[in-house]
Structure 1
Amino acid sequence: MPEDADKVRATIVERYGRLARTAQAQLQIVDCGPQQFNDGGFGAAAYSDTGELPEGAVRASLGCGNPVAVADLQPGETVLDLGSGGGIDVLLSARRVGPTGKAYGLDATPDMITLARANAAEAGVNNVEFLHGHIEDIPLPDAGIDVIISNCVINLSADKPRVLAEAFRVLKPGGRLGISDVIADDGLDPAQRAEAEQLVGCTIGTLAESEYLSLLAAAGFTTYTITRTQAAADGLHSAIIQATKPAAPPEINIRPMTAGDARQILDIYQAGLDSGNASFETTAPTWEAFDAAKLPLHRHVAVEALTGQVLGWVAASAISDRCVYAGVVEHSVYVHPDHGGRGIATALLKALVQSTETAGIWTIQSGIFPENTGSLRLHEKAGFCIIGTRQRIGRHRDRWRDVVFIERRSTIAGTE
């Protein structure tokens, strides 16, 4: 966390405590200039389905959109609202997930928790739970949440990368993120940006669209989009941010590769090389060489959920520094020899396809020894096509080897 995080948190808690007490006094609360509040779709103006909610929950709404409307909540799901305030989005979510589902609200302001619990009691909603805590340190276990929503709160954090990393951690494999927030135009003049942020109440600072996308990718989300909804102030926009955590087989998580995984990754790599049919290489590289060769946002590991053991990895490398090949990468995928048959390689390939397509990469390619029939079948199922076979392309272990060249051309990226 940044050095001044505690001070920032205290300021935010004090500010929203005052607003909660204002709402408890049955007064309307506004957290930015009146013109920006109306023009930016802030507060209850973003909702069309509040008729059955307590007036106090609607009155206390301080969001900049309606994340529930885009979260595609299903009966039985578990949803978490980061920065739940007076509880409007939690109550709407509880209605959508139904009695077999559950809606959590997390807020750092005790007065907001009190207000939200009172609103839930008035609404007679039982499948909700309001937690006191910080969105940078979510007090919930790993991989237990189906959907995370948030409404104009992440901009209030002094450590936005930590928030998104925590969101990724608590989501189940395949879990979804659907949040409303205020974003800045890329390249906006800093002074103009700061003035606009003050007008709309984003006192800690907003993220530019490109910054938001980069942080989502770094956190491990493999699909992510930003859709602007309304102008909030000069250079600032209300927006819906959606992202998905990669799906995985039971009891397995797929997350970004880190330097802490180096030993296990290289051991799995070496085990594959020792099989004789994985690569022309015979010895795994050093971590420094491996790290330098792989694209940072397109390297994923599959880990055992309970132990954190790395079971497999996938990574991509650029094939050329020429701009014409900017959307073409070469990949490798390896699975621990004791954990084959669990669907790990398939899940890793799917994560790679998602992350590369989201980044605009249009072709993934590789070369496979024809004797490696298992890998050829795996890639065929993942949408790769055989381009051809280069015969006797190189010597490996004192004999000439053919290589089958495969590629997967995206139907999403590079189509125009």
Structure 2
Amino acid sequence: MAHEEVVERYSALARAASAGEAVVDRAPDAFAEGCLGAAGYDDTAGLPEGALRAGLGCGDPVAVAEPRAGETVLDLGSGGGIDVLLSARRVGPSGRVYGLDASADMVALARRNAAEAGAANTEFVCGTIEAIPLPDRAVDVVISNCVVNLSGDKAAVLAETFRVLRPGGRLGISDVVFSGADAEAGGGADPGPRAAAGHRVGCAAGSLTLAGYHDLLLESGFIDASITLTADHGDGVHPAIVQATKPAISPGLEIRPMRDTDAGPVLAIYQAGLDGGQASFETVAPTWERFTAGKLARPRYVAVDIDTGEVAGWVAASPTSARPVYAGVVEHSLYVHPGCQGRGVGRALLSAFISASEQAGIWTIQAGVFPDNAPSLALHRALGFRVVGVRERVGRRHGLWRDVVMLERRSTVTGT
């Protein structure tokens, strides 16, 4: 179903709700268990009847994300405003909640509901979730209720969500996912049953598989991602809770995925580290082609200065072997701009990399550090690396033999 058709469908539902009619956008037998719409919430006392009638979700994202007093929240696909109003209660007068919907009729309905509820700390905006009309780092929390599955460009939705979140911000949504043996093994060789199941529960653009959702969260830059199935509605269709976090870092900085446009500053920081004499046996940074060919496509992160956009540091990893048995074993590289050291950049980057690597199926991270690089050794130990040995006089740099301390971190989450 095209975007315009989705908008028209929900605009019609908004008009029906405004007229006092019952609103349903799924087949009567779509969900054999679990709750749908307003019935899925624990406490809706005091909410306008119009908001309850237009509750079309598949869960309670407000309970999942747990907005706190003073925070700014964004609801993607806010519909009649039920999740915005519930969030407004939680953030209080010092917080703010934005509702974003592509249907002007839904936005109008939600504004009337907010006025009736006296929710002065809310604002409803008409726009798409693939191009969120808010500035970078504008919100602390993003919620959504059974809407991401409606988008035909889910990668754009998650990338935009990452963009508008502040460092340390969190994503907490309810959505519909597809989990089946065929889908998880091969991406869904036969789309027929999956498409039919999706239309039955109202997923106009098709739900993601569990693996597909995880991949897009990782590609967008999120860490600490989890997808929890809450019920089974047959044919591999499940309502689910999706949670993730934007990496945290000290004020004035942001961590995001590394891009090809970062090549110049990444290699300059690499060279500065080599010139310092404590980073590697190498003396000259590689070309970008060699660099990117030798590193895993993800996770790769850079820390950037929010005001200037300058890269403050980076982290990436290389596979230790092409043999399948070592598929989850990598060796990482971590470099911080000399002018940005002492700001917690290295710790934040490595913390984000560790979390994302576990999401990517990596179970062991290895590192080699010169014995006299005390700050690097202390950082790695603090983040769970252990010394497994010392390679004595393993190589020469500028004519001097150097030992290398070998460290590794074994995941307690992946590969257990």
Which residue of the partner structure matches residue 208 of structure 2?
207
Q: Please give the alpha-carbon distance, in whole angstroms, between the structure 2 residues aligned to 1:45 and 1:145.
A: 28
Measure how far apart 1:384 and its partner are: 1.9
CA contact (8 A) 1:199 1:233 kept: no
Q: How does 1:240-319 map to 2 (within 5 A)?
A: 240-319=241-320
Match of 1:160 among 145, 154, 157: 154
CA contact (8 A) 1:38 1:45 kept: no
Q: Please give the alpha-carbon distance, in whole angstroms, between the structure 1 residues aligned to 2:87 and 2:23.
A: 22
Which residue of the partner structure matches residue 229 of structure 2?
228
Q: Please give the alpha-carbon distance, in whole angstroms, between the structure 2 residues aligned to 1:349 and 1:53.
A: 44
CA contact (8 A) 1:40 1:237 kept: no
Q: Please give the alpha-carbon distance, in whole angstroms, between the structure 2 residues aligned to 1:330 and 1:276.
A: 19
Q: Please give the alpha-carbon distance, in whole angstroms, between the structure 2 residues aligned to 1:260 and 1:355.
A: 21
Q: Look up the equivalent residue of 1:25 and give its one-letter code.
A: A
Which moved further from structure 2: 317-326 or 122-131? 317-326
Which moved further from structure 2: 179-188 or 198-207? 179-188
Aligned length: 409
Q: Please give the alpha-carbon distance, in whole angstroms, between the structure 1 residues aligned to 2:203 and 2:415.
A: 36
Secondary structure of 1:36 counterpart: coil
Confirm or deny that 1:117 pairs with 2:111: yes
Which residue of the partner structure matches residue 383 of structure 2?
382
Measure how far apart 1:50 and its partner are: 0.7
Q: Please give the alpha-carbon distance, in whole angstroms, between the structure 2 residues aligned to 1:358 and 1:198.
A: 30
Any idea what the Cα deviations from partners look like across 1:372-394, whole Å, max 9, x if unmatched?
Answer: 22212222222222222211101
CA contact (8 A) 1:385 1:408 kept: yes
Confirm or deny that 1:192 pairs with 2:186: no
Which moved further from structure 2: 159-168 or 296-305? 296-305
Which moved further from structure 2: 396-405 or 84-93? 396-405
Confirm or deny that 1:73 pairs with 2:67: yes
Q: Please give the alpha-carbon distance, in whole angstroms, between the structure 2 residues aligned to 1:218 and 1:211.
A: 10
Q: Please give the alpha-carbon distance, in whole angstroms, between the structure 1 residues aligned to 2:254 and 2:131.
A: 20
Which residue of the partner structure matches residue 144 of structure 1?
138
Q: Please give the alpha-carbon distance, in whole angstroms, between the structure 1 residues aligned to 2:98 and 2:366.
A: 43
Any idea what the Cα deviations from partners look like across 1:125-163, whole Å, max 9, x if unmatched?
Answer: 111111111101111111121110001111111111000
Which residue of the partner structure matches residue 3 of structure 1?
none
Q: How does 1:92-111 map to 2 (within 5 A)?
A: 92-111=86-105
CA contact (8 A) 1:76 1:97 kept: yes
Measure how far apart 1:40 and its partner are: 5.2
Which residue of the partner structure matches residue 41 of structure 2?
47
Measure how far apart 1:329 and its partner are: 1.2
Q: Please give the alpha-carbon distance, in whole angstroms, between the structure 1 residues aligned to 2:384 and 2:149.
A: 39
Which residue of the partner structure matches residue 169 of structure 1?
163
CA contact (8 A) 1:178 1:240 kept: yes
Q: Please give the alpha-carbon distance, in whole angstroms, between the structure 1 residues aligned to 2:123 and 2:25.
A: 25
Measure how far apart 1:37 and its partner are: 4.9
Secondary structure of 1:308 counterpart: coil
CA contact (8 A) 2:75 2:84 kept: yes
Any idea what the Cα deviations from partners look like across 1:346-396, whole Å, max 9, x if unmatched?
Answer: 100101111112233222111111122221222222222222221110111
- TM normalised by structure 1 equals 0.95
Any idea what the Cα deviations from partners look like across 1:241-285, whole Å, max 9, x if unmatched?
Answer: 111111111111101011110111011101110111110111111
Q: Please give the alpha-carbon distance, in whole angstroms, between the structure 1 residues aligned to 2:128 and 2:285.
A: 42
Which moved further from structure 2: 14-23 or 404-413? 404-413
Secondary structure of 2:152 counterpart: coil
Over aligned residues, Cα RMSD in angstroms?
1.4
Match of 2:173 among 173, 179, 201: 179
CA contact (8 A) 2:6 2:204 kept: no
Q: Please give the alpha-carbon distance, in whole angstroms, between the structure 2 residues aligned to 1:137 and 1:173.
A: 20
Measure how far apart 1:124 and its partner are: 1.2
Measure how far apart 1:320 and its partner are: 1.3
Q: Please give the alpha-carbon distance, in whole angstroms, between the structure 1 residues aligned to 2:55 and 2:227.
A: 22
Q: Look up the equivalent residue of 1:84 and give its one-letter code.
A: S
Which moved further from structure 2: 9-18 or 166-175? 9-18
Measure how far apart 1:48 and its partner are: 1.8
Identity of aligned residues (%): 60
Q: Structure 1 residues 367 and 28 mapped into 2: Cα distance closer, same or farther (>3 Å)? A: same
Q: Please give the alpha-carbon distance, in whole angstroms, between the structure 1 residues aligned to 2:65 and 2:32.
A: 23
- TM normalised by structure 2 equals 0.95
Measure how far apart 1:38 and its partner are: 6.0
Q: Please give the alpha-carbon distance, in whole angstroms, between the structure 2 residues aligned to 1:305 and 1:276.
A: 29
**Ranges in structure 2 where 5+ consecutive residues have no aligned partner:** none
Q: Look up the equivalent residue of 1:334 and give its one-letter code.
A: Y
CA contact (8 A) 2:155 2:216 kept: yes
Secondary structure of 1:28 counterpart: coil
Q: Look up the equivalent residue of 2:44 and give its one-letter code.
A: T
Q: Look up the equivalent residue of 1:212 and give its one-letter code.
A: Y
Which moved further from structure 2: 65-74 or 163-172? 65-74
Which moved further from structure 2: 80-89 or 271-280? 271-280
Secondary structure of 1:313 counterpart: strand
Q: Look up the equivalent residue of 2:110 and give its one-letter code.
A: A
CA contact (8 A) 1:200 1:233 kept: no
CA contact (8 A) 1:37 1:43 kept: no
Confirm or deny that 1:411 pairs with 2:405: no
Q: How does 1:334-413 map to 2 (within 5 A)?
A: 334-413=335-414
Q: Look up the equivalent residue of 1:205 and give its one-letter code.
A: G
Q: Please give the alpha-carbon distance, in whole angstroms, between the structure 1 residues aligned to 2:31 and 2:387.
A: 56
